[in-house]
Chain A
């Protein structure tokens, strides 16, 4: 079975990644690994709705920021432990995803209309978080430095590694499950042909809502991780379009609707952004220009993402197949 082999591969890959804390000695290298896992988590979360469900969101920042702000606000304003905040953040992000999903799917918005609705939601939340006081407004929120496990902060960044590793593994396992479950079969059917899916007894609305909820949940987790790792948030970080773009770029470059695409995409994106920073310094916009160029190249030559590179080189299929690779 393809799926059993995929699970084994997945577990082996994550087991290999898990050895990193034991032999990687330099803190910057460790930070790179953490960043890649975090981006992979974000991309895989988008992949659930965008890659497997065919609903291209341009506003995943709405879920990301909600997760991040929830854990931060609960700590700062209410003194609630971030471990509880982690769960609360992910669940609140899920709720936002369900609201956005309901507003769009109930009225059959697809394609660019759905993208615009999600973008609008993220922008509204950005403006709101800028104007209310409990989010710190435009100044943002600074989490108090208190590096303890019970506080979801770690003096040694290996602690962060294990947190993001576990989140990432959970998300990848969820996507593996999607690839071998009834829900996943229905989701991909909806992506490939809504009318045909409906005729075969698929409840299109509920299927999309399910995908939105899962996608929102894991994006919220990524937001929580971001807040705890960098300990600072402001509206344009949490709800800005940079997060939304990163979330969709990763699976598109790596391979949409595939299990490992987002991991590959995350590695490539992070490598590129580091290279840009190294060679160009902090000139604004250069990284985005490079992303854009890469995106064009990928769409032209590898429409199924980097994961399809070997079959394209071997002159295999015509670039259409994207399910379950």
Chain B
């Protein structure tokens, strides 16, 4: 589905993304984690055409899409959402979603019908005529998801759709994400909420300082020494291990 090889991007002297290679299989629900500033969002921007990579290639469904425009990549079936939600303020929820729906529905009526269906799926069905700017944070996150979904993507990239939500809101959104995957859409998500990463994803990539430092099943990755150190600092893996042994003994 998605095949990224050795992709890199520098801003000035900073290597934001440094030779990252990643494969996502069709139908998978994969997560990308890492501390703040690890380069996750930049990685999303690179593969969706918002930034042009300095090196490396991106293949999507067998096609080389490196350097394509974001709109063409979206048309090919890969759509991203934004960490900082970007509603079309002043337009209604339905109009917002219809913008996405128009990608594959030329007529206004078809687009609106499709938008209604999608809104229903993500739980915005009762707020269609509300101004998007008046939604709560949780509502806006759902709107981000809905708009992306309305484009009928093959692969969606969710950039922290759970960030800023309270635990009960998170519990509401997780089944929505799972349902999207079950409907046949491949998902790659950036997430800080570990509860979600653990319960949702089957496979995890860990990015730190622009480099991929680990990958595997979420449980294995969580015990990976390099990952623990990336999050908690140098030497922490050792200390944790010792504490655990002492507690056990």
- Show the binding face of A for B, using Cβ within 8 Å: 3, 180-182, 185-186, 188-189, 192-193, 195-204, 317, 320-324
Contacts and interface: CB of A to CB of B under 8 A. Distances in A.
Given A195-B86, A200-B103, A200-B147, A181 B75 contact: no
Contact of A201 (B88, B91, B103, B131): B103
Contacts, number: 90
Contact of A197 (B90, B99, B108, B148): B99
Which of A180, A192, A193, A320 has the most chain B CB atoms closer than 10 A to its own CB?
A192
Contact of A322 (B87, B90, B151): B90
B71 interface: yes
7 contacts: A193-B88, A195-B50, A198-B50, A199-B50, A320-B89, A323-B95, A324-B95
B91 A323 contact: yes
Given A192-B89, A198-B50, A320-B133, A204 B71 contact: yes
A189 B90 contact: no
- Taking residues whose C-beta sits less than 8 angstroms from the other chain, chain B's interface range is 35 or more
Identify the 7 closest CB pairs spanning chains A and B, nearest first. Answer: A201-B74, A196-B86, A192-B88, A201-B103, A203-B71, A189-B99, A198-B70
A185 B86 contact: no
A148 B137 CA distance: 65
Interface stretch (B7-15, B77-85, B194-202, B230-238): B77-85
B74 A180 contact: no
Which of A182, A188, A317 has the most chain B CB atoms closer than 10 A to its own CB?
A182
A3 B50 CA distance: 34
B152 to A, nearest CB: 10
Nearest to B86: A196
Interface string B83-109: 000111111000100111011011110
Interface in B128-163: 131, 133, 147-148, 150-151
